[in-house]
A and B are shown apart, each in its own frame.
Chain A
């Protein structure tokens, strides 16, 4: 699944603001509970970790289980005291990591 993650967060804020960040990544989140037509279990394949950093410092991390719905939506907050770059990363069970970035100007 090479579809790009989607982000919604402001590009500007005032110092000390707590902003809301919405993220969504297309992903089947195969739970490992489903069976195929022959009755064989379809192996689990999910995004198991989401990390948000700001200027290199961790802001928020989520460890996900198969109970997270397909196309995982993760919304959280961040307090911004300086301008900089948010880095987001999603780690798949198979080890691949998808990343995205967003800059913010903080006055």
Chain B
């Protein structure tokens, strides 16, 4: 039995309880209740194993209006065993949903890149589902820069 991460515990134990997960050193708090609910819906309440997902994001986004995001899931893409769906969430946005990506064996690779909007420094959470029912997850913090003169 793998050690449950705090996020997995939230997924299992989320029942209307607002859980603030520390995104970073206790200072960047994100209310991940909405994100946790989305994850629970996607996984059917099951736990997702950490790993197999590479998330590419700038360390500091030059602005929150368009941030390049690249996701690669290390998995075969055969008819019998392929990544079928990937959920992308941003836990600090007004609503966490970013995209749902549906892959097929014809995708060749489970990889995609998009450009996203971020309201503030926050975590991008990715959950991947395979045709065999396996679940993987990963997350990454992205800082959104703060403008110079106050605008």
Contact = CB atoms under 8 A, between A and B. Distances in A.
The B interface, classified by DSSP as helix, strand, loop or mixed, is strand
B109 interface: yes
A67 B116 contact: yes
Interface residues of B, number: 30
Interface string B80-95: 0000000000100111
A79 B108 contact: yes
Interface in B40-87: 65-67, 70, 77
B31 to A, nearest CB: 16
Interface size on A, as a range, is 20 to 34
Contacts of B106: 54, 57-60, 78-79
A31 B95 CA distance: 11
A63 interface: yes
Contacts of B113: 73-76
Given A33-B94, A68-B114, A69-B115, 13 more contacts: A57-B104, A60-B104, A60-B112, A62-B100, A62-B102, A63-B101, A65-B95, A67-B118, A69-B65, A69-B66, A69-B116, A74-B114, A76-B107
